[in-house]
């Protein structure tokens, strides 16, 4: 492998999470030592049939894992923590994070059967050292407890890695972002602010979670039937807001989904959610009058196997929603998930269930956990960095962040791709190289590359249909028995399907008759000859290039 990093230079490399949502995976390099920050999942879209979750490919750091001093997790959201249980055995490094995030992570590791992982709890504000990196965690407000920004210092200077944050003036869980400490760090000097770009194109402030509890209470009063609220399972602040709104309006709360139970269990273990009533179990649903019920559900992004999608299809084991009931989408729509979310909403609407989302109500039912423009401007004024490196978001968000930095008189900004090698020091901060990055897909019980032939084949089958033929021949190419032939997804009517089937059988016979008898072919050669001809025939007849497979067996008779 070529030598990318020089020993006397300080680097940052986003390996996931730049120009995309999710799969956050970041690398700092100094003195030939590696520091990893976050290791999260992403949601798969229709480009990955049969796949729900995507992971960052750790190949680059895995090849250098003897250099890894540690992995620091900024908070417990899936896009920052969710890939650890899948990838730790390829990294084998110690993990450092807050008490709450550690509690969540241990549950995830247990679920995946990953043992003996060294998870260390760090104390907010107390510096610690990993090799040549001095690290300090700084408390920030977010929708999950104990979210951290990180000050990463080497002999070259300090960088602020923001993680996810906002300036909620009245958080319902935890305290406000530590303005005092950020101002102090700004006076000490900051090489670069590596910052969250999610809402960099949104004016104003993100708002306060305390307002969501009030907005949800208004919705609960408005709707008289059973109410379901769908959220990200890791949004502990939102769970608290829902519980408070339910308490105020005389409703009991039931959790649906294992991930919600795990997150609530971790929160209780760490002393959170103790000021709200205990949640009920799923099988308590039938004992409650609909007007006294609030269900908290996973599935805000339209995930096919999540609780909400199952209920919308009428397939859930315990829960159902009827005409006059209400579903509240109390979450942001992640770009790329619109189609799946709309499928769920359409299923609910067909059942005469009321659907409420942030665009259809004047009540505040969701606030973002990410900073909008006024909050980013405040942070940049506190820190006064030499450079802004825009990460965490799609390209237009990163560009908006860089433009905002320029308005704030930041000297320089960098908009990276995944794999950009950014030299932080010495000299001007800039992209100097690129390393290969990629995605992995969680395919049921295995992990495969996102461009694996399995996924490519599924994608093709969505649009092209299939033809499969199986036949047994003697060595004179006479057919023994009957040709077995199936086609899927090529015609729209049963009678047309029968005609095509008969035509394909005839075509196989014609191909065999056209093969010269003095030419000796093996099974694979005969099968390939038939495959090419069948595919060409279907393409000529109906304009579709199907996936065609042919099995030939030659028998001595």
How far apart CA 96 and CA 123 sit, in angstroms, is 10
Predicted confidence (pLDDT) per residue in 430-480, tens digit = 999 999 999 888 887 788 777 777 777 776 776 678 889 999 999 888 899
What's the pLDDT score for residue 1?
47
Residue 363 falls inside a structural domain = no
Whether residue 382 sits in one domain with residue 260: no
Whether residue 135 sits in one domain with residue 87: yes
Whether residue 389 sits in one domain with residue 245: no
Residue 3 falls inside a structural domain = no
Q: Domains in the chain: how many in total?
A: 3
CA–centroid distance for 508 within its chain: 46
In this structure, what token pair is assigned to residue 517?
């008898």
Residue 295 falls inside a structural domain = yes
Strand spans (E) along 109-245: 119-121, 128-130, 133-140, 147-154, 157-161, 192-196, 227-230
Residue 213 falls inside a structural domain = yes
Q: Which domain holds residue 222?
A: 209-356
Domain boundary among 306, 333, 356: 356
Whether residue 351 sits in one domain with residue 225: yes
Whether residue 134 sits in one domain with residue 239: no
Whether residue 254 sits in one domain with residue 182: no
What's the pLDDT score for residue 487?
82
Residue 454 falls inside a structural domain = no
Residue with tokens 């595919």: 535
Whether residue 214 sits in one domain with residue 87: no
Whether residue 94 sits in one domain with residue 57: yes
Whether residue 477 sits in one domain with residue 422: no
Cα 472 to Cα 381, 466, 479, 509, 521, distances in angstroms: 77, 20, 6, 12, 14
Residue 509 falls inside a structural domain = yes
Whether residue 337 sits in one domain with residue 194: no
Domain boundary among 356, 376, 408: 356
Phi-psi region of 461 (alpha: psi -120 to 50; beta: other; left: phi over 0): alpha
Per-residue pLDDT of the chain (557 residues; tens, 9 = 90+): 467 999 999 999 999 999 888 899 999 999 999 999 999 998 776 777 677 788 999 999 999 999 999 999 999 999 999 999 999 999 999 999 999 999 999 999 998 999 999 999 999 999 999 999 999 999 999 999 999 999 999 999 999 999 999 999 999 998 999 999 999 999 999 999 999 999 999 999 999 999 999 999 999 999 999 999 999 988 999 999 999 999 999 999 999 988 899 999 999 999 999 899 889 988 899 899 999 999 999 999 998 888 999 999 999 988 999 999 999 999 988 877 898 899 999 999 999 999 999 999 999 999 999 999 999 999 999 999 999 999 999 999 999 999 999 999 998 999 999 999 999 999 999 999 999 999 888 887 788 777 777 777 776 776 678 889 999 999 888 899 899 988 887 765 666 677 888 888 999 999 998 888 777 788 999 999 999 999 999 888 888 888 899 999 999 76
Domain boundary among 300, 326, 356: 356
Q: Which residues pair with 326 in a beta bridge?
A: 227, 354
What's the pLDDT score for residue 557?
65
Whether residue 227 sits in one domain with residue 197: no
CATH classification at residue 149 = 3.60.15.10
Residue 33 falls inside a structural domain = yes
CATH classification at residue 224 = 3.40.50.10710
Residue 482 falls inside a structural domain = yes
How far apart CA 473 and CA 268 sit, in angstroms, is 69
Strand spans (E) along 399-535: 412-414, 420-425, 430-434, 439-443, 446-449, 466-473, 479-488
CATH classification at residue 525 = 3.10.20.580
Whether residue 159 sits in one domain with residue 35: yes
């Amino acid at each position: 492998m070529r030598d990318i990093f020089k020993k006397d230079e300080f680097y940052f490399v986003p390996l996931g999470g730049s120009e995309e949502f999710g799969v956050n995976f970041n690398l700092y390099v100094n003195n030939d030592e590696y520091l990893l920050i976050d290791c999260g999942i992403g949601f798969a879209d229709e480009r990955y049939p049969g796949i729900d979750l995507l992971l960052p490919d750790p190949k680059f750091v895995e090849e250098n894992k003897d250099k890894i001093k540690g992995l620091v997790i900024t908070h417990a959201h899936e896009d920052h923590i969710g890939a650890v249980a899948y990838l730790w055995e390829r990294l084998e490094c110690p993990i450092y994070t807050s008490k709450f995030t550690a509690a969540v992570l241990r549950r995830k590791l247990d679920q995946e059967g990953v043992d003996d992982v060294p998870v260390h709890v760090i104390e907010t504000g107390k510096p610690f050292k990993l090799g040549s990196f001095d690290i300090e965690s700084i408390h920030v407000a977010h929708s999950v407890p104990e979210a951290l920004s990180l000050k990463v210092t080497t002999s070259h200077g300090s960088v602020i890695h923001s993680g996810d944050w906002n300036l909620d003036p009245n958080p319902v869980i935890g305290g406000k972002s530590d303005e005092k400490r950020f101002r102090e760090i700004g006076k000490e000097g900051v090489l670069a602010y590596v910052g969250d770009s999610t809402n960099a194109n949104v004016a104003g402030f993100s708002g306060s979670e305390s307002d969501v509890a009030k907005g949800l209470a208004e919705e609960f009063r408005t709707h008289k039937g059973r109410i379901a609220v769908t959220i990200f399972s890791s949004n502990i602040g939102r769970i608290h807001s829902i519980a408070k709104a339910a308490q105020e309006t005389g409703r009991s709360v039931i959790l649906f989904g294992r991930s919600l139970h795990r997150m609530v269990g971790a929160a209780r273990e760490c002393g959170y959610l103790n000021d709200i009533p205990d949640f009920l179990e799923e099988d308590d649903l039938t004992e409650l009058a609909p007007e006294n019920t609030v269900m908290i559900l996973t599935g805000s992004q339209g995930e096919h196997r999540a609780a909400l999608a199952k209920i919308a299809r009428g397939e859930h084991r315990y829960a159902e929603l009827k005409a006059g009931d209400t579903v509240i989408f109390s979450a942001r729509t992640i770009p790329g998930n619109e189609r799946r979310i709309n499928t769920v909403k359409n299923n609910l609407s067909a059942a005469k269930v009321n659907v409420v989302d942030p665009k259809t109500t004047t009540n505040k039912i969701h606030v973002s956990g990410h900073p909008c423009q006024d909050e980013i401007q405040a942070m940049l004024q506190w820190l006064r960095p030499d450079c802004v490196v825009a990460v965490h978001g799609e390209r237009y968000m990163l560009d908006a962040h860089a433009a905002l930095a320029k308005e704030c008189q930041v000297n320089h900004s960098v908009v990276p791709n995944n794999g950009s090698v950014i030299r932080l020091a010495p000299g001007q901060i800039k992209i100097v190289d690129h390393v290969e990055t990629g995605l992995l897909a969680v395919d049921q019980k295995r992990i495969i590359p996102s461009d694996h032939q399995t996924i490519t084949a599924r994608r093709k089958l969505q649009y092209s249909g299939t033809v499969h033929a199986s036949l047994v021949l003697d060595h004179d190419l006479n057919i023994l028995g009957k040709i077995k032939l199936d086609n899927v997804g090529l015609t729209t009517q049963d009678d047309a399907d029968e005609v095509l089937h008969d035509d394909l059988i005839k075509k196989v016979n014609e191909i065999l008759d056209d093969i010269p008898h003095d030419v000796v072919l093996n099974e694979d050669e005969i099968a390939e000859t038939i495959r090419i001809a069948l595919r060409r025939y279907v393409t000529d007849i109906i304009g579709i290039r199907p996936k065609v497979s042919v099995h030939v067996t030659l028998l001595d008779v």
